[in-house]
Structure 1
């Protein structure tokens, strides 16, 4: 029987198409962790974990200066900065020295940073560098001066 004869049968059921398509009769695909468990690692959880571990490290190095600072993560800046027309770009973080608060913007850091290799190691490096630069801006120091022993190779 040719393929066109089989599809022309009035008793044949239509083949389901689209998102609910059943692949080889095995059912619709689901996530590896199943429907009742959250994903093990997501980009958001990796971002939050990297921010938290870097902040904890720097709080250990500068406990007096960073003890009362609040660190927050937001998806992005609430309004476009006025410097975009002059080529300043999109903010990666915001420092409010009077309120002792730093807000990191997840989407600009993750999506607008140009990585030469897009793997987990380089993603963590760009996030850590943003944390170092934001804290250095708050403290009025150079980012390399925040943890000089960390970068010293002997």
Structure 2
């Protein structure tokens, strides 16, 4: 006599509770709360805010590419916080802010915001051939 074959167990549905009887854990903070933004995203926002402040005064900056890179290519013993390259026939002018060197030199978000703005102002001044004080009259006062 053949033994009956037990039916295949049903596939489990989505878990509603964990093994301790508690509900599934959700995100720590909703997406609109600053806790859920990464350090990289937060740094990009600081650069964007600084550029927006300067574009009101210098509309020609709309044609400049502003980039954030993790670290600069080491050419010598100094570590730059930013760099600028003038436009050529194949590419627009670009300004690069290096995230890790700026973060290492600051302790708080406010300090970081001030340093990012200072770096952006210095690089815009170099690109335009002006003094940083003429690019942003509040340069160096914070």
TM-score (norm. length: structure 2): 0.66
RMSD (Å) for aligned C-alpha atoms: 2.7
1:134 is aligned, of 123, 127, 130, to 123
The residue aligned with 2:99 is: 106
- Mapping of 1:4-153 within 5 angstroms? 32-33=28-29, 39-64=35-60, 66-77=61-72, 79-81=73-75, 83-84=76-77, 89-98=78-87, 99-111=92-104, 113=105, 115=106, 118-148=107-137, 150=138
Q: Distance in 1 between matches of 2:26 and 2:101?
A: 30
Aligned length: 111
The residue aligned with 1:9 is: none
Deviations 1:80-102 (A, max 9, x none): 11x31xxxx11211211134111
Shift of 1:130: 0.9
Shift of 1:39: 4.7
Q: Distance in 2 between matches of 1:96 and 1:139?
A: 11
Q: Distance in 2 between matches of 1:43 and 1:33?
A: 15
Shift of 1:57: 1.1
Q: Distance in 1 between matches of 2:83 and 2:101?
A: 12
